[in-house]
């Protein structure tokens, strides 16, 4: 009975498409492949045919639905307000139930989501494997490796895993009652690959006169599992995070990762929608969730009085990349730009199409390696044309993808989370020198 109503809901969602084709103009996958199957309209038509029993759920159909980066560009332009992210995730869930997940993807997801027993030990070993078997890229980043797999001539660029995770570097579980508190949810990429971003975010929270809290028990936000069709894993992670957050007192929950923010604001309400008890608990937490840029532009805006003046005149030109999960998902675009404009000696220039997807999409970039790289090339062209010396953004995943695209072009343009620069500016230091 429940399955029947879920299928009816799914079919109803699919039938909303009026076939206007507006999604074609904004789809990064269509832009590269120029095939009807690449765009939302084509995918919806195939899924409709499958639901009517006109076609089988074959591995070809599975491949078609895997070729969506879930950037949601088409959701914003769709006159019928089709929730493509929800539809594709549901379709992937059906495909995973039918075929199971490809073993490599399953293993990667287990590691990414932290449901793999002994993930920390595994990642430490992976760090050693990188050093032993991959080629270090002699770029200014100094933090990337190139691996050659499955006969690919160009190789894939991998970020170096951090020697210590953020929670190993900083212990902030104990909270003082004297100040309002901010629970910082670091997410997996910041914890395992770029802890410096987390350190800067925590510094900024403290310098805004709030007490930062960092919990050791944090799990992956679950978005990679949800978008891969592994609903069961996404639910487990969401339940565990809800339980952990419900036990803690805090005034704000701040994220510096666009993906985690999007999971909390958009996906958790979907996961809890048929569970009124959990949904109610989540609604109470949801009102406190802010992206770091929202927090510093609002309750934490005392940070701007801490920016140190400088006599130095050298400036650096920076451009800002809008992460899909921030710009399209959370509608945040002004706040990070205003913050960047306040950083001394940074001259912000806009690149063309700053909100175009960088091609990352988490598991998408692994499953659709060539396609992800082609989408990324367009972003890199826009960055290079802007003549910026520095790329700033608000998503650690986009940072990895853009860095790897720039390295492939032998460019030494730096890519950073803007919070690292603001942290330096409030310390009176600057990487511009
Ligand atoms: S924009 Fe929306 S309604 Fe129009 S074809 Fe695309 S999915 Fe269908
Ligand atoms: S979500 Fe993005 S990649 Fe997927 S169909 Fe829409 S525009 Fe294309």
pLDDT above 90: percentage of residues in the chain: 67
Q: If you average pLDDT over residues 288-304, what whole number do you get?
A: 97
pLDDT in tens, 23-79: 999 999 999 999 999 999 999 999 999 999 999 888 888 889 999 999 999 998 999
**Does ligand 2 come within 6 angstroms of the Cβ of 359?**
no
> Could you tell me the domains of the chain?
2-99 (1.10.1060.10), 306-427 (3.40.50)
Instruction: Evaluate if residue 262 carries a pLDDT over 50.
Output: yes
Mean pLDDT of the chain: 87
Q: Is residue 150 predicted with pLDDT exceeding 50? A: no
Q: Which of 394, 398, 319, 317 is nearest to 352 (CA)?
A: 319
Q: Are 90 and 227 in contact (CB under 8 A)?
A: no
Q: So what's the pLDDT on residue 151? A: 45
Per-residue pLDDT band at 135 (split at 50, 70, 90): low
CA of 49 to the centre of ligand 2 (A): 19
For residue 307, what are the β-bridge partners?
none
Six-digit token string for 45: 């038509």
Q: Is the CB–ligand 1 distance for residue 419 below 6 Å?
A: no
Q: 90 versus 178: which is more confidently predicted?
A: 90
Q: Among residues 136, 112, 134, which one has the least CA distance to residue 122?
A: 112
Q: Point out the least confidently predicted range of 94-98, 110-114, 145-149, 332-336.
A: 145-149
**What is the bridge-based pairing of β-strands 144-147 and 390-393?**
unpaired
Any atom of ligand 1 within 6 Å of the Cβ of 25: no
């Amino acid at each position: 009975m429940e399955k029947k109503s879920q299928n009816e809901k799914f079919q109803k969602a699919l039938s909303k498409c009026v076939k206007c084709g507006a999604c074609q103009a904004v789809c990064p996958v269509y832009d590269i492949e120029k095939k009807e199957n690449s765009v939302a309209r084509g995918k919806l038509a195939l899924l409709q045919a499958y639901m009517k029993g006109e076609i089988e759920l074959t591995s070809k159909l599975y491949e078609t639905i895997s070729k969506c980066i879930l950037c949601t560009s088409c959701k914003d332009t769709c006159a019928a307000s089709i929730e493509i992210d929800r539809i594709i995730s549901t379709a992937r869930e059906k495909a995973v139930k039918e075929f199971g997940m490809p073993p490599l993807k399953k293993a990667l997801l287990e590691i990414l989501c932290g449901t793999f027993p002994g993930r920390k030990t595994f990642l430490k070993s992976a760090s050693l494997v990188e050093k032993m078997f991959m080629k270090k890229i002699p770029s200014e980043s100094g933090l990337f490796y190139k691996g050659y797999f499955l006969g690919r001539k160009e190789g894939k660029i991998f970020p170096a895993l951090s020697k210590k995770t953020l929670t190993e570097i900083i212990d902030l579980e104990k909270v003082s009652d004297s100040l309002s508190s901010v629970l910082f949810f670091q997410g997996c990429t910041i914890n395992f690959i770029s802890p410096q971003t987390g350190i800067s975010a925590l510094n900024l929270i403290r310098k805004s006169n709030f007490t930062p809290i960092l919990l050791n028990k944090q799990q992956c936000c679950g978005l990679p599992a949800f978008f891969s069709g592994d609903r069961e894993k996404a639910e487990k992670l969401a339940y565990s995070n809800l339980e952990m957050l419900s036990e803690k007192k805090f005034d704000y929950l701040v994220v510096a990762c666009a993906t985690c923010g999007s999971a909390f604001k958009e996906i958790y309400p979907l996961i809890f929608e048929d569970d009124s008890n959990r949904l109610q608990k989540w609604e109470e937490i949801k009102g406190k969730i802010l992206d770091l840029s929202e927090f510093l532009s609002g309750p934490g805006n005392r940070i701007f009085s801490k920016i140190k003046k400088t006599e130095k005149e050298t400036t650096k030109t920076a451009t800002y990349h809008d992460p899909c999960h921030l710009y399209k998902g959370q509608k945040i675009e002004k706040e990070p730009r205003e913050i960047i404009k306040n950083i001394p000696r940074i001259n912000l220039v806009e690149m063309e199409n700053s909100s175009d997807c960088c091609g990352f999409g988490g598991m998408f970039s692994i499953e659709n390696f060539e396609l992800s790289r082609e989408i990324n090339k367009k972003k890199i062209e826009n960055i290079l044309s802007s003549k910026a010396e520095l790329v700033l953004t608000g998503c650690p995943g986009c940072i990895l993808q853009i860095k790897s695209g720039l390295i492939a072009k032998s460019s030494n343009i730096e890519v950073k989370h803007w919070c690292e620069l603001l942290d330096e500016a409030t310390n009176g230091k600057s990487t511009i020198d």
